[in-house]
Chain A
């Protein structure tokens, strides 16, 4: 599988991540090489194999529906890049 410039631009957009213009060719090469490594999987017959999402066969635990956490709004907002009146600030999204 070989990726080109437009593939990288599309993937970077999907990941909402800016990539430097002069690095796009480099990423195309790197990602194509990695996918070349991954392509070894194609030689394996897996029609009858069940997928394994997790190493341990365990059920998701449930807990009692009780409030256990205390409100630490001030601590959490203290590490935010931009806050005002208890709110996280982002650029305007509604015109």
Chain B
């Protein structure tokens, strides 16, 4: 039952082959017996899940079911869930029971999903390996000695390990696509503004975007349909019409123009990963696509630019955690300044502190022009690279990551080496473009991700392109041994 997709399970539920309560119990039992060795979940919510499953079963028998009704999923612990602990992977919010639901949560609940629990993640979504979580690292189900990627590492690992049918994730610099690649699942970061950020704990507000993490492109389309759309509660939500993301999944790719940026296939890319990506691109040629080489000349500036913009926004956003209204508070503060300083010092972990300090530094008097303003200008150049590219091609393809999953602890002590792992994913966030990672041929038993970047609001095209590959190949059906 756990190998089935949302579409297959939905059909089974509506045909009365099994109930949502049975399906939910099946996944709760799997979590109980298998998550101990992976640490994908921070909080498991069996009571909430079974209550939602019962309600879903009633909707199904009343003939009022949608495609997601009764489907067990996990929410990344960055999304506020009313009445349920929302930790964001941090000691700062270890005691935080959210008094409201994020819009994404509210919409998925309205669609009838069953929330099994809250997924582990890098603290405040800052990390590429899930090792910065206050709740400990997540293990990659393909090899437990390796990382699952991050920051949505719990979401990616639990979808790969079949500990939920799908999960939500968020992507500020690659946090959906990179873990999706390292765990062998499908992940979609929508266009900035497509999915509401209301109730999604802010890291870098001009970059953050929520999206689905699933085992197929079709499932991603079904999830995105429920998650996306204009939200008056988010001042940066885009007032764009919402297409039917499933309608064009099977459209022909005859004549599709694929651009391969030469900068994504240069030095630093693992030879095995390159070969897997090239094999997938050959599949697209067979499907009738035309492949051309393009250039995104400012690619090498994406990581440096990001590590000014993201920390600057992070230091501003995280100033709200002050030990006064919610979250962690230090013991016996001697005065107000001591309360702020120690609550923050004790509540935040190492990586979060590093980024807050970088942000505070680049925004401080005398440095703003040299760092933040400069970075915003280069952000424009990076965005213009894509603009020119999309005048020539329909989609851009390349690897999601430079290598397969690295070992736990391997890069944890060296922030700069860790940051360079997001070299292919960050530019799409800076430009605000949608991007996907889909599993392609594994290298030495470890998954590889093909990244597909589209033009603004072209998620339906990305899903079509990903779905056609998954109809022609079986890479996305591979499962880690023992799950």
Contact = CB atoms under 8 A, between A and B. Distances in A.
A44 B348 contact: no
Interface of A: 3, 7-8, 11-12, 14-20, 23, 27, 30-31, 33-42, 44, 46, 49-56, 58, 60-61, 63, 72, 75-76, 78-82, 88, 90-93
Q: Give the interface size class of chain B.
A: 35 or more
A63 B415 CA distance: 43
Contacts of B353: 17, 19, 27
B357 A91 contact: no
A18 B371 CA distance: 24
B7 interface: no
8 contacts: A27-B353, A34-B419, A37-B304, A38-B371, A41-B375, A54-B236, A81-B328, A93-B335
Given A49-B377, A51-B380, A53-B206, A18 B99 contact: no
* Most chain B beta-carbon neighbours within 10 Å: one of A49, A60, A81, A82: A81
A46 B377 contact: yes
Nearest to B311: A34
Given A14-B361, A54-B206, 17 more contacts: A14-B360, A16-B319, A16-B322, A17-B353, A34-B354, A34-B419, A36-B416, A37-B416, A44-B298, A44-B301, A46-B377, A46-B381, A52-B376, A53-B206, A56-B456, A60-B235, A91-B338
A31 B354 contact: yes
Interface of B: 95-97, 99, 192-193, 206, 232, 235-236, 238-239, 298, 300-301, 303-305, 307-308, 315, 319, 322-329, 333-342, 344-346, 348, 350, 353-354, 356-361, 364, 371, 373-381, 383, 415-416, 419, 430-433, 456
A25 B334 CA distance: 27
A11 B360 contact: yes
B contact patch SS: helix
Contacts of B432: 54-56
Contacts of A53: 206, 376
Contact of A37 (B307, B337, B350, B378): B307
A12 B193 CA distance: 33
Contacts of A46: 374, 377-378, 381
Given A34-B358, A38-B308, A91-B336, A44 B345 contact: no
A55 B472 CA distance: 34
A59 to B, nearest CB: 11
Nearest to A80: B325
B348 A17 contact: yes
A15 B360 contact: yes
B99 A76 contact: yes
Nearest to B381: A49
Nearest to A76: B99
A39 B304 contact: yes
Q: Which 9 residue pairs of A and B lie closest in terms of their CB atoms, listed nearest first?
A: A55-B432, A18-B345, A51-B376, A81-B329, A46-B377, A52-B380, A49-B377, A18-B341, A15-B360
Contact of B337 (A16, A81, A88): A16
Contact of A91 (B315, B339, B376, B431): B339
Contacts of B357: 8, 11-12, 15, 17, 27, 31
A90 B341 contact: no
Contacts of B361: 3, 7, 11, 14, 31, 35
A14 B334 contact: no
Contacts of A50: 377, 380
A40 B300 contact: yes
B326 to A, nearest CB: 5
Nearest to A53: B376
Nearest to A26: B350
A55 B325 CA distance: 32
A55 B455 CA distance: 12
B170 to A, nearest CB: 15
B325 A88 contact: yes
Contact of A11 (B327, B334, B344, B364): B364
B377 A15 contact: no
A90 B333 CA distance: 9
Nearest to A43: B301
A56 B416 CA distance: 29
Contacts of A52: 376-377, 379-380, 383
Nearest to B333: A91
A3 B357 CA distance: 12
Given A14-B360, A55-B383, A79 B97 contact: yes
Nearest to B98: A79
A78 B147 CA distance: 37
A94 to B, nearest CB: 10
Given A17-B353, A34-B307, A52-B380, A76 B325 contact: yes
Contacts of B348: 17
Nearest to A83: B325
A48 B275 CA distance: 40
A91 B339 CA distance: 8
A72 B197 CA distance: 21
